[in-house]
Amino acid sequence: MNKKCTVIIVLLLLVIGGGVYKFIFQGSVSESTDGRIAIHLNGGERDLVLGEMRMFLENVQQIIIGVNENDMARIAESARIVGRAAQAAVPGTLLGKLPAEFKALGFDTHSKFDELASNAEQFGDPAYSLRLLSDLMNNCVSCHAAYKINTPATGL
């Protein structure tokens, strides 16, 4: 193989590698004024992420009601709603904008809700469900401390 060919191949690999890095690891981000990482999303993508967030909040409340009323079925059902199955078919374009660590934290949070649901079904101990909930809420706290969403003004 001649030298020119090698140089072109190396350059192409660098471009592809950069694209893969950006798509899988870095996402579409910048540093924000409050020290968090701002993820740049369009309006529809932001609505999708925030809709998922409100589902989290709603079902956290339902789980706490379940704990207070010793209602294991309510705990399990609510936790399942925000388990892995709830990860709506996230479009590839949105996935590419989310940093890898953000995706990992999100996935882990859904998985922990599934664990909470299974545990509630199998062991029926509300105090333990509450302990699992407070543990998994470390994910909510640490993700909110690290990331925010920026959306270009639409005038709406």
Residues that bind ligand HEC (CB under 6 A): 50, 53-54, 56-57, 60, 102, 105-106, 109, 137, 139-140, 143-144, 147-149
Contact 126, 73 (CB under 8 A): no
Name the minimum Å distance from CB 139 to ligand HEC: 4
Q: Token digits for 115?
A: 């664990």
Name the minimum Å distance from CB 40 to ligand HEC: 11
CB neighbours of 97 closer than 8 A, spacing ≥ 6?
A: 27, 28, 39, 40, 41, 45
Based on CB atoms, which residue is closest to ligand HEC, 81 or 128? 81
Q: Under DSSP, is residue 38 helix (H, G, I), strand (E, B) or coil?
A: strand
Based on CB atoms, which residue is closest to ligand HEC, 4 or 54? 54
Q: What are phi and psi of 46, to 5 degrees?
A: -60, -45
Name the minimum Å distance from CB 131 to ligand HEC: 15
Based on CB atoms, which residue is closest to ligand HEC, 69 or 108? 108
Q: Token digits for 145?
A: 């401390």
d(CA 50, CA 155): 19
Which residues share a beta bridge with 31?
37
Based on CB atoms, which residue is closest to ligand HEC, 12 or 88? 88
Name the minimum Å distance from CB 16 to ligand HEC: 28
